[in-house]
Amino acid sequence: MASATVKLIDIAVNFTDGMFKGLYHGKQCHSADIPAVLARAWAAGVDRIIVTGGSLTESREALEIAETDGRLFCTVGVHPTRCGEFDESGDPERHFQALLALAKEGIEKGKVVAVGECGLDYDRLHFCPSDVQKKYFEKQFELAEAVKLPMFLHMRAAGEDFSEILSRNLYRFPGGVTHSFTGTAEERDKLLSFEKMFIGINGCSLKTNENLEVVRGIPAERMMVETDSPYCDIKNTHAGIQFVKSVWPSKKKEKYEPGSTVKGRNEPCLVRQVLEVVAGCKGISDVEGLSKTLYHNTCRLFFPHDLDASADAQLESGSGTSVQNS
């Protein structure tokens, strides 16, 4: 089911979502089960997980969840569809300062590794108009600059404005990942033209043959994998399904069993499937080698101290005459 030789980091898990508390559309179907979900993830070769924050409240909860396990980390930021919360708070600057204080607290605890999820989403303007999204996307670069963290970014149907805002703020943050990428080849190439930008791939990135073609054009050295669970699972109708090798037993939520995944609810162990589809569509037979590259990319951006420590250890032991620059 999963090989111990593959080591993965899932860069996007929405553990604050009700589904991980057993709540589906307001109905309690089973008890909260993050420990069981984590046990499956660790057994599948997942080494670390970044829990996504999408609002001030959610970022607080993400930090609380991250504190429950040494392998969990989180982001602090406001999702484009929820940027209205700055103005709704009655004092946008105070709201920003609260985010900044939370980020600093989380950094001190060794848990907050990125600012986000922030960006632009023009598919869902009914939640937040574009002018408000743009204003507070720009504002969150100030947050990244203040705490010197990379950015965890969201871009949906807004390629032009997103790239424009990004390009004028490049000096303010050390790097970033545009996660859950579903864009065109042109949008991909634009993101790749920003030298410190990575692209995050999940089930939503692998739905159609056109999607797979776009993914083929992302160099492995510029890619990360994620589930964005509980959403974005790889479905049987998706073009990518042909490359999936690892499967887990699943039960409907109404017939929940702790040892099985929930049908229709994505979870971190399934990041293994994303790896398999990326390898398959790119014609890479060395899945373990690909996983090492993706792991290195993720450490480079979110856990640079680990790479420094590992390089130092190699030099001390004399096992590495040359260490890849990060």
Go through 310-326 and write b for each residue having 16 or more CB atoms within 10 A of its CB, e for each that does not: eeeeeeeeeeeeeeeee
Q: Are 46 and 269 in contact (CB under 8 A)?
A: yes
Is 219 exposed, middle or buried (CB count within 10 Å of its CB: 0-12, 13-18, 19+)? exposed
Q: Three-state SS for 172?
A: helix
Measured distance CA(122)–CA(132) in Å, rounded: 11
Is 32 exposed, middle or buried (CB count within 10 Å of its CB: 0-12, 13-18, 19+)? middle
179 is in an annotated binding site: yes
154 is in an annotated binding site: yes
Q: Are 117 and 154 in contact (CB under 8 A)?
A: yes
Q: Are 313 and 320 in contact (CB under 8 A)?
A: no
105 is in an annotated binding site: no
Tokens of 237: 């109708």
Binding residues: 117, 154, 179, 228
Binding residues for a divalent metal cation: 117, 154, 179, 228
